[in-house]
Structure 1
């Protein structure tokens, strides 16, 4: 009689599948599956090689924030940054990316769905110039005027900025890491998760090191398949970005948009105000929310200190809403320098009382 063919369900045999009446076959090799023995061996090897056995830390460059995060962002983390429009989310994220690559030899990749590569270059020149010259350094408007000028005798970018405050220095500074910073002109039609993953892996292979990843912004990443709702699309994207962070062992920083109903002046934005908030809050390791300090400071600070009102407008409050690996509910403030496309790096803990919503006092 021929061999009996039998199929046994996982429930019948404790999770084993028997085919053709034979014993269960060995599972295919899964590179993500490791015994604790292998983990111990890998960790020991890192120690013997003089490498860090723990997560790799990437400083943000914002002193108060790095202190709160015990050094900075960590490899394998998905970090989200949300807030109202026009409050500098891209500005702050770009400063973090720049800091991540100037402090070491690691690369970075910026998936820009909002700005072209030249606009990113302008912002980086402004940041570098301010790093040397502070608030007296050239502004974004000056940088744009220099680029738009015609019939100059300059034969290089450095020469073109020679007569500006800090411009030539900024160009030289950029040259020191320009080969490690990759700008991806991303498209809301064509740059999906597969393209992001492939680009990240290509940069990692080119440099032999995991890159810092910035996505601006998460809700613009397209997802194939008709009929998916907004929540489903965002859930897919955030899950896949988290997987990229774990696989490549990089921090992935993604800017996220808010629900339109939450974009109300004088109302404090929270995690639940972000588009796709349930998936975002669950998958993310760290969540930053930016708010304008003037919009959320308590009324009595305006009524009895009218001279402070304009000063409050010059500050943004960054709240660590979630921090899976450390402390959260920390409220820090950083001064805006938007004319230079940046924030001051030295921040501080907010001393004033903050509220969820207030009536304007102008």
Structure 2
């Protein structure tokens, strides 16, 4: 019998078995670890679901995705991070900085210090190089605890297509005995062999393929997406209609998250009557839940940026100020 053809009674029997054994929620929901976000999107990312993460350049999309990845693997679940933009070694440095930032009560841990230690001329193990870095070795110890569950795939736009992504998912399942969450950084770089010249058609192929992968492998897929030029050049707040390449992005996705700088999108009166707000707002990013098949959309949460430590502060909160679509500049 075709394994893709299921009677409703078969689906109900599998669901009943999961519910009886208590595995239903654990199998299907993958908590992001970001305060305020999980309750909005149904407890976390969901197996079989496609989540898109967008935002202007420099707003921390990779930082957010990598931190979410780390939160998942700390719970004992494997993740494959398909990195089209960053070398695996760079991601390791960010993980160490993230852990150091959370461990260091003195607020002195810095990503730059960790990079300098790794790049220093001469020999020495990672532990030896991090001896003089605030919380460096403690952070490295934390990363080692989940390192076996986090797989980084050095992906390229000239070689890594949907078939390669599926193959890596199968390999990881074989190695760990568990289905891995998939992170793609970023979607528009996925190769489409012999694909159409138009980016819109290529993007449609990729997003549909990632959605199929999520359903077929019963895993959550998180993909970073780029914005079109109008969102970057006209000064408008990034919205779901600014995702670059295809209307299929918004259609196929189950959840769409968009990062914007709080200072850029807060209403002018919050800056006019309290000049100190301008500097404070620059420290925060607003994460908008633009689409959500598993709960409410139109939700706006804010997270403090700690890019000097390669992370966001994970305790999010609702945005109290009025936000607008046009960016506001007062300098």
Q: Which has the larger radius of gyration?
A: 1
Q: Which moved more, 1:292-301 or 1:128-137?
A: 128-137
Distance 1:37 1:135, change over 3 A: farther
Partner of residue 12, structure 1: none
Query: How far 1:224 moved relative to its partner?
Result: 1.7
TM-score, L = length of structure 1 = 0.88
Residue 93 of structure 2 is aligned to residue 122 of structure 1: yes
Between the aligned partners of 2:65 and 2:185, the Cα distance in structure 1 is: 9
How do residues 144-183 of structure 1 correspond to structure 2 at under 5 angstroms? 144-151=115-122, 154=124, 156-183=125-152
Q: Secondary structure at the match of 2:289?
A: strand
Matched, 1:35 2:4: no
Q: Normalised by the size of structure 2, how large is the TM-score?
A: 0.95
Aligned partners of 2:320 and 2:202: how far apart in 1?
A: 39
1:265/1:131 CA distance change after superposition, 3 Å: farther
* Alignment map for 1:9-24 (pairs within 5 Å): none
For 1:158-237, what aligned pairs fall within 5 Å after superposition? 158-237=127-206
1:325 to 282, 294, 301: 294
Tell me which residue corresponds to 1:280: 249
Structure 1 consecutive aligned stretches of length 4 or more whose deviation exceeds 6 Å:
none
Residue 70 of structure 2 corresponds to 98
Tell me which residue corresponds to 2:309: 340
* Residue matched to 1:57: 29
Task: Give the whole-Å Cα distance in 2 for the aligned partners of 1:236 and 1:98.
Answer: 29
Instruction: Report the Cα distance in structure 1 between the residues aligned to 2:25 and 2:300, rounded to whole angstroms.
Output: 31
CA 359–133 in structure 1, closer or farther in 2 if over 3 Å, else same: closer
- In the alignment, the residues of structure 1 paired with residue 245 and residue 13 of structure 2 have an alpha-carbon distance, to the nearest angstrom, of 40
1:112 maps to which of 83, 89, 97: 83
Kept in 1, the 8 Å contact 2:303–2:312? The answer is yes
Partner of 1:321, secondary structure, is strand
Query: 1:40: how far off?
Result: 2.4
- The structure whose RCO (Cα within 8 Å, separation 6+) is larger is 2
Deviation at 1:145, TM superposition (A): 1.1
Match of 2:45 in 1: 73
Q: Write out per-residue CA displacement over residues 221-243 of structure 1, whole angstroms, 9 at most, x where no aligned residue.
A: 11122544111100000000001
The residue that corresponds to 2:111 in the other structure is: 140
Q: CA deviation at 1:174?
A: 1.1
Task: Label 1:319 to 1:143 Cα distance change in 2 as closer, same or farther (>3 A).
Answer: same
1:283-310 Cα shifts (integer Å, max 9, x gaps): 0000001111111100111111111101
